[in-house]
Copies of this chain bind each other. A is one copy, B any other.
Amino acid sequence: MKLECMPCFVRQVLMELDGSDITMEGKEKALRASLRRLSEMDMTLPPVGVSLILHRLLREWGVGEDPYRELKMSSTSKALKILPDLERMLDENGDRLKMAAMMAIAGNVIDYGAANLLSLERTLEDAVHGGMAVDDFEDFGRELLKADTLSYHLDNSGEVVLDGLFIREIIRERPDLRIRAFVKNSPLLNDVTLKDAVDGGLGAVDNVELIELPHEGWVSEDDIDSDEAEIIIAKGQGNYESLSESGRKNLFFLLVVKCDVVSRELGADIGEMIFKRS
């Protein structure tokens, strides 16, 4: 994490408190405890590691296991609602696979909070007309032709509906490909859990095995190093922050840039789409 990530963590604390039913006084105490904990935080942790520590702390203060639950359900149902429109767009488009990839990436804006699907549509439109800021899609397409196995690390609820769209297009290209789609084993922020992935339609896709991470928290470099899949897709900024140092080849980062730190690192503006080979 960087020093400048700090305001985001405080915002996350406020969001978890906001979704809880503890008293105003309890919220104030929990916020003070979070600030104290942040003042002593290990700065070598990736951002998601800090989020996890805060999430555990807030549970001690009475915030529920899954404070983003309602937000997650609402973003899933909104994404399911626009799915037929997106499928129609695919039918009208020449390069189905790339278009579906861009839709999955654009879905990453759902992370912003209020599941603002207008900005999803705008993000997608910008990308279709202006292209992606980093575009290693051709590389991915070449690798896909050779691969028999693929791991897909999912990111946010709601967004997972569009990952499903992309995964179905991947399977259309390579009907024998075996896909393992990874979800978190406990709810952190609006990350996809097994239930969220099933709600988003990923439970019913042939070829796809839904797997919970074997440990709480975030995808580590060790997870990636020990994965024998020929292609690994890591969705979202959190996974990029955790895995960008990985030497693993055939690791592809798909995300929308959401803060200055990642913007500087990738040389792309906030809001731009990234399809980057590690």
A137 to B25, CA, bound (A): 40
Contact pattern, A 35-49, Cβ under 8 Å of B = 1, otherwise 0:
110111001000000
A11 to B36, CA, bound (A): 17
Cross-chain contact A33 with B39 (CB below 8 angstroms):
yes
Cross-chain contact B40 with A39 (CB below 8 angstroms):
no
Closest to A12 in B: B7
* Known contacts A32-B40, A36-B39: A7-B10 contact under CB 8 Å: yes
Q: Which one of A4, A35, A36 has the greatest number of beta carbons of chain B within 10 Å?
A: A35
Interface status of A31 (Cβ within 8 A of chain B): yes
Interface status of A70 (Cβ within 8 A of chain B): no
* Known contacts A3-B14, A3-B17: A32-B39 contact under CB 8 Å: yes
Residues of B within 8 A of A36 (CB): 35-36, 39
Closest to A32 in B: B39
Chain A interface SS verdict (over half)? helix
Interface status of A55 (Cβ within 8 A of chain B): no
Closest to A31 in B: B3
Cross-chain contact B35 with A38 (CB below 8 angstroms):
yes
A21 to B28, CA, bound (A): 34
Residues of B within 8 A of A276 (CB): none
Interface status of A6 (Cβ within 8 A of chain B): yes
Q: Which one of A10, A11, A36 has the greatest number of beta carbons of chain B within 10 Å?
A: A10
* Known contacts A32-B40, A39-B36: A7-B14 contact under CB 8 Å: yes
Q: What 9 A-B pairs are tightest by C-beta distance, nearest first?
A: A35-B39, A36-B39, A7-B7, A7-B10, A32-B39, A7-B11, A6-B10, A35-B38, A35-B35
Given contacts A28-B43, A35-B39, A36-B39, 9 further A-B contacts (CB under 8 A): A3-B31, A6-B31, A6-B35, A7-B8, A7-B14, A32-B39, A34-B39, A36-B36, A39-B39
